[in-house]
């Protein structure tokens, strides 16, 4: 028996009334598969033909490298769907091998039935589109951020974005350590560059209060990067 309440917490069915979900699922084919701890749900590179939603338990995504060792990538817990961005598109294969961490129930629906489901219910359709799109937006923002090479550029971009329209000062809510991690650099390197930028009278950072002294030059840093 499916736990409809749980299914409705999943991004795909969110906002659909519980009895509506029940009615929808009567009109399409789907399966609920049970796995034991340690079972392999999918192998990296395998064609994806079904949407999987974890109903209970958790799974992990692992990559297998060229020499055969496995590296854990991420954990996925109920009630999240698997690989929504890889169901469609030109390269619809599992990017990772998926293994169960414990007893797991998985809701499984084929692509064609999922398409039917989306055509039957516009909320499900919109949910799915929102889900893929949000992920794309998140990744492309991250990519944009990575495109700045030097630490100075990263700081300039981060602060200009944080500042927005504010003319003068604003508060930071992260520590240098956290920023360093966000930027993917070491903490002393970040501190050093911040010092430089203060000496160059580009910014002032006093505790957590940031003041941008020269937005013009901060922008030029991004242009010439």
CA diameter of the chain: 68
Shortest Cβ 201–DNA spacing (Å): 14
Nearer to its own copies, 55 or 96 (CB): 96
- In the numeric block, which tokens belong to residue 69? 């060792």
**Residues with Cβ < 8 Å from 189, sequence gap 6 or more?**
151, 180
Binding mask 128-147 for DNA (x = CB under 7 A): --------------------
The entry of DNA, its own copies, none that residue 28 binds, CB within 5 to 8 Å by partner kind: none
Nearer to its own copies, 184 or 204 (CB): 184
Nearer to DNA, 32 or 204 (CB): 204
Complete edge-to-edge strand list for the sheet that includes strand 169-171: 169-171, 209-212, 203-206
Q: Which of 34, 142, 144, 192 binds DNA (CB under 7 A)?
A: 192
The entry of DNA, its own copies, none that residue 140 binds, CB within 5 to 8 Å by partner kind: its own copies
Is 176 a binding residue for DNA by CB under 7 A? The answer is yes
Taking the CA atoms of 68, 72, 78 and 81 in sequence, report the sign of the dihedral they define: negative
Round to whole Å and give the CA distance between 56 and 58.
7
Q: Are strands 97-100 and 58-64 parallel, antiparallel or unpaired?
A: antiparallel
Shortest Cβ 148–DNA spacing (Å): 9
Shortest Cβ 3–its own copies spacing (Å): 27
> Which alpha helices (DSSP H) does the chain contain, by range?
4-7, 18-26, 111-120, 122-146, 151-163, 176-183, 187-199, 215-223
Shortest Cβ 118–its own copies spacing (Å): 6
> Which alpha helices (DSSP H) does 8-84 contain, by range?
18-26
Nearer to its own copies, 31 or 186 (CB): 186
Cα–Cα distances in Å, from 186 out to 38, 138, 176, 183? 37, 24, 10, 9
The entry of DNA, its own copies, none that residue 124 binds, CB within 5 to 8 Å by partner kind: none
The entry of DNA, its own copies, none that residue 176 binds, CB within 5 to 8 Å by partner kind: DNA
Contact set with DNA (CB under 7 A): 149-152, 175-177, 184-189, 191-195, 205, 207-208
């Amino acid at each position: 028996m499916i736990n409809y309440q749980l299914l409705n917490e999943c991004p795909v069915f969110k906002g659909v009334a519980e009895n509506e979900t029940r009615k929808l699922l009567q009109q399409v084919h789907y399966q609920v598969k049970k796995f034991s701890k340690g079972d392999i749900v999918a192998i990296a590179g395998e064609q994806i033909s079904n949407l999987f939603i974890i109903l209970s338990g958790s799974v992990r995504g692992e990559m297998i490298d060229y020499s055969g060792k496995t590296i854990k990538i991420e954990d996925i817990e109920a009630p999240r769907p698997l690989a929504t961005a890889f169901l469609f598109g030109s390269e619809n294969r599992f990017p990772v091998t998926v293994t169960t961490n414990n007893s797991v129930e998985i809701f499984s629906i084929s692509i064609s039935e999922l398409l039917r489901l989306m055509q039957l219910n516009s909320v499900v359709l919109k949910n799915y589109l929102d889900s893929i799109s949000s992920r794309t937006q998140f990744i492309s923002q991250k990519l944009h951020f990575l495109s700045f090479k030097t630490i100075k550029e990263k700081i300039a971009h981060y602060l200009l974005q944080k500042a927005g329209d504010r003319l003068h000062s604003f508060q930071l809510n992260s520590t240098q350590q956290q920023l360093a991690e966000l930027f993917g650099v070491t903490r002393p390197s970040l501190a050093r560059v911040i010092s430089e930028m203060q000496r160059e009278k580009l910014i002032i950072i006093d505790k957590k209060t940031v003041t941008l002294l020269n937005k013009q030059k901060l922008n030029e840093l991004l242009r010439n990067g």
